Amino acid sequence: MTRTYGFDTLQVHAGARPDPATGARQVPIYQTTAYVFRDADHAAALFNLQEVGYIYSRLTNPTVAALQERVAALEGGAGAVCCSSGHAAQIMALFPLMAPGRNIIASTRLYGGTVTQFSHTIRRFGWSAKFVDFDDLDAMRAAIDDDTRAIFCESIANPGGYITDLDAVAQVAEAAGLPLIVDNTSATPYLCRPIDHGATLVVHSATKYLTGNGTVTGGVVVDSGRFDWSTSDKFPSLAAPEPAYHGLEFHRTFGPLAFTFHSIAVGLRDLGMTMNPQGAHYTLMGIETLSLRMERHVANARKVAEWLQNDPRVEGVTYAGLPSSPYHDRIARICPKGAGALFTVAIKGGYEACVKLVGSLELFSHVANLGDTRSLIIHSASTTHRQLTPEQQFAAGAAPNMVRLSIGIEDPDDLIADLDQALTKAVA
């Protein structure tokens, strides 16, 4: 009987085996472009997808493969594909599903860069997005049409820390015969496993909590292996004959791994959004302490949010871990180990007070990132969500009087003291 390992064991061991050539215990950095074939037949079998192996590092690399296996194990997926960034992961997730004239249904509560990517950039491919409040399930159903090919949301939305009711959204997707894509960056698989709630694909910006130390840009797409790509004619890239591989049908040939194999054999082959092996190595090392870090992130976020909520200089805090949050009741079901460490704070004094607050902090770093061991702050309306309209900013939880906090793993009392002195200057 094969033992089912716990999360803490998988985050250290999944995908990692002693190097067969040297016995090295840590996954080596295979800094190589290409791989020697055994003979001509071996090369032909690899190129024809008849054998799994390494051809060229744009497609596959042993260090990257170890990371793919680890993240898939933590998310409970059948397979995974790593790529160059979180934004690349979103395009990789959509690429096999979409075609000119097709659309996706996207939550209004998304990272500003994602809203921009879906509002403008994907239109150059002939794709489009319809933005809907995912608390309004009837509106979601009404937005779906014959050209809809996917539903997209974040488990814990950036910047406000809103928690999506994944169970309800997944039911809408299933009834429509559509894959549900969930960005799990802010939650990580330690706090939330979207596949357990009905997600088809899970995307990550590995730049954030997975690596955890602000050194890498990377993305991951995890394939649940549970969607029937052949049940309709909506997904020909996965179910119909592929001309580039002599009529091979990915779903019929690879079953639960159809999406994963297509993303490597076609997506990485042609889009080239490759993760470099050194970045994969850093992320593997970061994941080894993911559960320990997330526990501290959550504990610190809860303490800081409680303090801010009671401060008279603050108008409001969006942290779902607070009983006052309208999404607090979703934690036990969607994120049973905590509401994450990302939230926004509305400051009395509006835009100008926010700018002064950011400039007065000493421990918090003013950067366009989240999920670092260090505590971070940014004024979303003037930076990450700047390209959005005022209406989109409010819908996304990035109003001009709000700052976004990403709480790190420092001493929480030091973080509170830093916020205290900065708030005094900001609202003086």
Query: What are 311-349's pLDDT values in tens digits?
Result: 999 999 999 999 999 999 999 999 999 999 999 999 999
pLDDT number for residue 400: 85
Q: Length of the chain, please?
A: 428
| DSSP-assigned states of every residue in 192-243 | --GGGGT-SEEEEETTTTTT-SS----EEEEE-S---TTSSSS-HHHHS-BG
CB 45 within 8 A of CB 227: no
Average pLDDT along the chain:
95
Query: What are 301-319's pLDDT values in tens digits?
Result: 999 999 999 999 999 999 9
Percent of the chain with pLDDT over 90: 89
| C-alpha–C-alpha distance, residues 74 and 77, integer Å | 8
H helix or E strand, kind and range, residue 406: strand 402-406
CB 29 within 8 A of CB 278: yes
| C-alpha–C-alpha distance, residues 359 and 344, integer Å | 17
Reported CATH class of domain 7-97+179-286: alpha beta
Query: What are 169-206's pLDDT values in tens digits?
Result: 999 999 999 999 999 999 999 999 999 999 999 999 99
| C-alpha–C-alpha distance, residues 129 and 120, integer Å | 9
pLDDT number for residue 388: 73
Q: Where are the beta strands (DSSP E) in 34-110?
A: 79-83, 103-107
Which residues sit opposite 404 in a β-bridge?
Answer: 344, 378
| C-alpha–C-alpha distance, residues 344 and 157, integer Å | 11
Percent of the chain with pLDDT over 70: 99
Overall fold of domain 290-426: Aspartate Aminotransferase, domain 1 (3.90.1150)
Query: What are 369-410's pLDDT values in tens digits?
Result: 999 999 999 988 777 667 777 777 777 677 888 999 999 999
Q: Which band of pLDDT confidence, cut at 50, 70 and 90, is reported for residue 1?
A: very low
Which residues sit opposite 153 in a β-bridge?
Answer: 182
Give the residue range(s) of CATH 3.90.1150.10 domains in the chain: 290-426
Report residue 62: phi and psi, to 5°. -60, -35
Provide mean pLDDT across the span 262-267. Answer: 97
CB 190 within 8 A of CB 7: yes
pLDDT number for residue 233: 96
CB 290 within 8 A of CB 298: no
Q: Which of 344, 3, 370 is nearest to 159 (CA)?
A: 344
Query: What are 113-165's pLDDT values in tens digits?
Result: 999 999 999 999 999 999 999 999 999 999 999 999 999 999 999 988 999 99
H helix or E strand, kind and range, residue 216: none
pLDDT number for residue 2: 63
- This prediction's pTM: 0.95
DSSP state of 276: P
Q: Which residue has the tokens 């870090």?
A: 293
pLDDT number for residue 398: 75
Q: 3-class secondary structure for 163-205?
A: ECCHHHHHHHHHHHCCCEEEECCCCHHHHCCHHHHCCCEEEEE
Q: Computed over its alpha carbons, how large is the radius of gyration of the chain?
A: 22
| C-alpha–C-alpha distance, residues 212 and 317, integer Å | 24
H helix or E strand, kind and range, residue 300: helix 290-309
Tokens found for residue 7:
């999360």
Give the residue range(s) of CATH 3.40.640.10 domains in the chain: 7-97+179-286
